[in-house]
Amino acid sequence: KQEVTQIPAALSVPEGENLVLNCSFTDSAIYNLQWFRQDPGKGLTSLLLIQSSQREQTSGRLNASLDKSSGRSTLYIAASQPGDSATYLCEGGSEKLVFGKGTKLTVNP
């Protein structure tokens, strides 16, 4: 049974800092891993998708990596801004899709 864990549960950083969010999963036979952000009371916005055959994906200030052998993915955010404040979720799985509980990020001006 796939389990997805995200650490830390919460993170508070000053504006401009580079940061790393972690996601670990137990079933390495995932099809892909997707990172989302969720603003309070809102839906999920897709940030990056990494296919199982890929090692990383980049979009603007975001970079996500995937290491299937160790069951880990990281989301790197460069030069954080207050607008990055949100909960970041990772989702992985094969037939059944599993979300982590998320990391609540606060970027302080």
Question: Which chain residues interact with another protein by CB under 8 A?
Answer: 31-32, 34, 36, 42-46, 49, 51-52, 89, 91, 93, 95-102
Mapped onto helix, strand or coil, the DSSP state of residue 58 is: strand
Tell me how far the alpha carbon of residue 85 is from its chain's centroid. 13
Q: Closest by alpha carbon to 36, among 16, 6, 13, 15?
A: 6
Nearer to another protein, 17 or 39 (CB): 39
Least Å distance, CB 15 to another protein, is 27
In the bound complex, what is the minimum distance in angstroms from residue 55's beta carbon to another protein? Answer: 16
- Give the residue with the Cβ less far from another protein, 25 or 36: 36
How many beta carbons lie within 10 A of that of residue 74, not counting itself?
Answer: 17
**Rounded to the nearest whole angstrom, what is the least distance from the CB of residue 108 to another protein in the complex?**
23
Smaller CB distance to another protein: residue 50 or 77? Answer: 50
Per DSSP bridges, beta strands 10-14 and 103-108 are parallel
